[in-house]
Amino acid sequence: MNFSHLHQADFSQLQKTLINQEADFIPLIELGIDRSIKEKILGRPILNLSDDISFMQRMGYDFIKLQPRIQLELNRRSAGTDSDNPDRAWSPEHQGIISSWQSFESYRWPAKSDIDYHLFEEAKRLLPEGMGIIGQYGDIFTNVWELMGFESFAMAIYEQPDLVAALFEKTSELILSMFDTMADMDWVGILWYSDDIAYSSNLMVNPQFLRTYFFPLLAHIGQLAKKRRIPFIYHTDGVLWEVIEDIIGSGVTALHPIEPKSMNISEVKKKFGDRLCLCGGVEVDLLARGRTDEVAGLTSRYLHEIAPGGGYCAGSSNSIPEYVNLDNYLTMLRTVHEFNRR
């Protein structure tokens, strides 16, 4: 399958959409697409960055999303999948690697010099005309609680707040440095931070905790994007009504992915659509188990209801994992491209 005949890449239109302006077409966006899906569509293995770029171009995306490479020991357990997505793993529920000052001091933190940015240099050389680069990383909040184990983390908020603060400081020092570096690359045209802070029923922690420890870090990235005058996407699952104002106040210009079981995208559009671009929303479960006509119908509904006036990027309600039905995924893309051709 190749949609390149239906779409001419134009990264500037994606940027325009992500700062909530009306572009010439509705762009596609995804946080991640599983390698096995890409390989089935291309009919060959994904071996390098050039293959990834080729896939994104053929599907009609205007970007390649890149991450700095670094190794953090988080004590995750395999989720029993062949996926190459590092998020597809079980995180510690009870006690993690760090539970005391002693374990904090003995933990081997990577150095900033260990961070590998070579893909950004390579992409600068390989990228076709019209496509651009999104610099993405995340999980300061997630890494802190995974290092402690969520139960231990929840207790430590009250019993060892100084240890929690130290973990946030150490983790954010490393990860924010990545955004400092990516923002200094003038060929990176969008910044994307991902970090789940909510479930489908509520926030994971008290909103005041997030305002103390988390949102100032998000605002740091927001300031970098503002200085460069480029969009800033924030990804988090879950119900976010209590903190959407905090998200906007941190300089976020686009929110991903508007998880359907958590928030109604039409309601989010009505309340915040004048200040926030909305990304995604097409339910992953529907892409996995639904019919193609259902996928086409929901995608079309969003294009007609959410996209008018600008500030909407089409895509899934999280990412494209290996269990998504290939025909459904292609139907979603085709529906968007055909809508843009009218």
Q: Domain extents for the chain?
A: 11-340
Instruction: Check whether 92 has a pLDDT greater than 80.
Output: no
Digit-coded pLDDT (tens) for 253-301: 999 999 999 999 999 999 999 999 999 999 999 999 999 999 999 999 9
pLDDT-derived band at 150 (thresholds 50, 70, 90) equals: very high
Candidates 233, 337, 218; CA nearest to 280 is: 233
Residue 88 has pLDDT above 60, yes or no: no
Structure confidence at residue 72 as a pLDDT band (50, 70, 90): confident
Structure confidence at residue 80 (pLDDT): 35
* CA-to-CA separations, 137 to 23, 37, 152, 163, 195, in angstroms, rounded: 26, 22, 25, 24, 9
Fold adopted by 11-340: TIM Barrel (3.20.20)
Mean pLDDT of 56-73: 94
Share of the chain above pLDDT 70, in %: 94
pTM to 2 decimal places: 0.93
Residue 49 confidence (pLDDT) above 50: yes
Looking at every residue in the chain, the average pLDDT score rounds to: 93
75: pLDDT strictly greater than 90: no
Q: What pLDDT was estimated at residue 226? A: 98
Q: What is the pLDDT of residue 86?
A: 45
**Residue 84: predicted pLDDT:** 47
Mean pLDDT across 90-106? 79
Residues 15-27 have pLDDT tens digits of 999 999 999 999 9
Q: How confident is the model at residue 218 (pLDDT cuts 50, 70, 90)?
A: very high
pLDDT for 76: 45
Higher-pLDDT residue of 80 and 116 is 116
